[in-house]
Amino acid sequence: MNVTDKTIRHVAREANVSVTTVSRVMNGSEKVSPATREKVLKAAEKLHFTPSRTAIALVTKRTRTVGVVVPYLDNSIFSSMIHEIEQTLSELGYFLVIAVSNNRIEEETKSADRLLAMGAEGLILSGADHDAALLSRLGVRNIPVIFTSIWNEAAEYPTIGYDNFGLARIAVRHLEKLGHRSIAVLHGPSDRSDRTRERIRGLVEGKSDRTTLLFFEGEVSAEAGARGTRRALERSPKPTAVIGLSDIIALGAIFEANRQGLTLPADLSIMGFDNLEWSEECCPRLTTLELPTRRMARAAAEAIVAKLETDQPIAPICFDGSLIIRESTAPA
């Protein structure tokens, strides 16, 4: 990689052994006498030898790299997911390459191909909804894939995630128990995200017949949350509760409610989804659904490495999330 870089051959000469032997001690493997091992280690040290990952990759046909593509990076649980994956991978001696898709199928496809081109041996994707051509390409190349942030046993690839449907149902029931019968739902682009669709389905199927849901679609941003809230409050009768299918959307709702002079949660209950870092600090503190992001991330990373190392099949896992009741929801 560099002018000053030494190769295994330099080390071999320095230690007066064969390249084979150097290779052996560098890999800690095989039978090498302690004396020889010591000699080699000393020589390597002296020459500042670093094995060429490129050469290793070429001959072993292994890059020890996994790719993950997430819909967003900012204001989302995905950044903590990435962090956990990176940590796990690193512990296992693997590398991580990432890309963001902005929740767009075409961008995701492009990103995934890019990650593959970078040498990713396995892919962790979000949701189960992907470009068919991409999936078939992954299939023929026999690339291990895991779908995360979702739970769907019928998906083309194993899912390691959580039950968006069930969680959303918990959310709507919480609101119903408080007496809310007219609820505004603020969500991101549903056609681009099966996670969102699942949540919406959970809301719809989880609610009782007496409850009315009003849907407002926008981006996953505070701005969209504010706008959705504005539109919701123009309706009559006004909804008594708002649920943002992302905390950042809920935050926008809080901003807008504040701006309209409402008293929270008395005038309007607001719920989020994600339990982001600031959610607890919010005013009012945000009632939300905690997602098992870290556990999920770790499990996914471990599973894909296991698949890569020993080719053992990836077992789908569904982690539990939980309702966190705080101050932003109150009786209707």
SS3 299: helix
Q: How far apart are CA 265 and CA 327, in angstroms?
A: 7
Q: Which of a second copy, DNA, none interacts with 160 (beta carbon under 5 to 8 A by kind)?
A: none
Q: Which residues contact 42 (CB under 8 A, 6 or more apart)?
A: 15
Q: How far apart are CA 128 and CA 50, in angstroms?
A: 40
80 scored as a contact of DNA (CB under 7 A): no
Q: How far is the CB of 94 from a second copy (least distance, A)?
A: 10
Beta bridge partners of 288: 324
Q: How far apart are CA 247 and CA 75, in angstroms?
A: 8
Q: Which of a second copy, DNA, none interacts with 152 (beta carbon under 5 to 8 A by kind)?
A: none
Q: What is the DSSP string of 184-196?
A: EEEES-STT-HHH
Q: Which of DNA, a second copy, none interacts with 332 (beta carbon under 5 to 8 A by kind)?
A: none
47 scored as a contact of DNA (CB under 7 A): no
Stretch that binds DNA, among 30-38, 105-113, 196-204, 276-284 (CB under 7 A): 30-38
Among 80, 182, 190, 212, binds a second copy (CB under 8 A): 80
Stretch that binds DNA, among 56-64, 158-166, 246-254, 313-321 (CB under 7 A): 56-64
Among 4, 31, 209, 311, binds DNA (CB under 7 A): 31
205 scored as a contact of a second copy (CB under 8 A): no
For residue 149, which of 250, 70, 245, 65 has the smallest C-alpha distance? 70
96-135 footprint of a second copy as x/- string (CB under 8 A)? -xxxx-------------x--xxx-x--------------
Is the CB of 118 or the CB of 315 nearer to a second copy?
118
Count CB-CB contacts under 10 A for residue 17: 19
Token pair recorded at residue 227: 């706008």
The answer to whether residues 244 and 186 touch, using CB atoms and an 8 Å cutoff, is: yes
61 scored as a contact of DNA (CB under 7 A): yes
Instruction: Cite the beta strand spans of the chain per DSSP E.
Output: 65-70, 95-100, 122-126, 145-148, 159-162, 182-187, 212-217, 241-244, 269-271, 288-290, 317-319, 322-324
26 scored as a contact of DNA (CB under 7 A): yes
Q: How far is the CB of 179 from a second copy (least distance, A)?
A: 25
Q: Which of a second copy, DNA, none interacts with 140 (beta carbon under 5 to 8 A by kind)?
A: a second copy
Q: Which of a second copy, DNA, none interacts with 133 (beta carbon under 5 to 8 A by kind)?
A: none
Q: Which of DNA, a second copy, none interacts with 17 (beta carbon under 5 to 8 A by kind)?
A: DNA
Q: How far is the CB of 230 from a second copy (least distance, A)?
A: 11
Q: How far apart are CA 60 and CA 54, in angstroms?
A: 10
Q: How far apart are CA 122 and CA 12, in angstroms?
A: 34
250 scored as a contact of a second copy (CB under 8 A): no
User: Which residue's entry shows tokens 């939980």?
Assistant: 322
Count CB-CB contacts under 10 A for residue 31: 6
Beta bridge partners of 209: none
Among 218, 252, 265, 321, binds a second copy (CB under 8 A): 252
Q: Which residues bind a second copy (CB under 8 A)?
A: 1-5, 48, 50, 52-55, 57-58, 61, 63, 65, 73-76, 79-80, 82-83, 86, 90, 95, 97-100, 114, 117-119, 121, 140-143, 221-223, 225-226, 248, 251-252, 254-256, 258-259, 277-278, 280-283
